[in-house]
Structure 1
Amino acid sequence: TQRLSRLVGKGRAVELILTGRIFDAVEALRIGLVTEVVPQAELMAAVRRTAGLILAKGPLAVRLAKLVVKNGAETDQRTGLLLERLAQSLLYTSQDKGEGTQAFLEKRAAAFHGR
């Protein structure tokens, strides 16, 4: 219930929980429970496409982004911004940052290692 109210708002969460109303994927998209709706036949291709986009990013950057979003959402804005600054500082001094910059300059895919 805590997660649902943060995703869709308190009023909508109460309505969904108390009524047990069933809803389809289109409504789940409309209220913010999902970020994309695809036909069943295209589901695995969509999952692979999204996973590929994430895997192309530096693992350290992905890990820190997840941490900052999750923990920032559960705290006040000032603390959330502090978390962002800390993550940026870690990333700026990482080996992956250097690799990303070099790969960009050389117009090639980066080979990130999570360090």
Structure 2
Amino acid sequence: MFAHLGYSTRTLNRLARENAGLSAELLIGERVLLEAKRLLAHSPDPAARIAEYLGFDDPANFAKYFLHRTGTTPADFRAHVRNTSTGPDSGTQLSEVPTAPSSACPRPDRQVRGVRGRIPAAR
């Protein structure tokens, strides 16, 4: 899965566990979920567009992924965050969100729990 990075899956998992306490798969999954929450909270784009941006093949897969990990749907999460927010909504469009160059976040050879494509770099 991670051979294109120059490391074996075992090595990356070992490094991820040593540094973050999670497997590489779980670490990637947490990063995807964090980015999904950020985009749902601050982007006016629909959840289907966010799902596509994050690399999900189908918006329904994104909704299931999000619900399974958070206990709430993307729409309910967005409504809750926006209703409890004290500051103004920034309204950041996905086209304005910078992504890492493809060399920094190469595409995985296979899907990781329904996720494909590049994952934006952490800020």
Same fold flag (TM > 0.5): no
Q: Which has the larger radius of gyration?
A: 1
Bigger helix fraction = 1
TM-score category (smaller protein): under 0.3
Q: Give the TM-score, by structure 2 length.
A: 0.22
Q: Give the TM-score, by structure 1 length.
A: 0.23
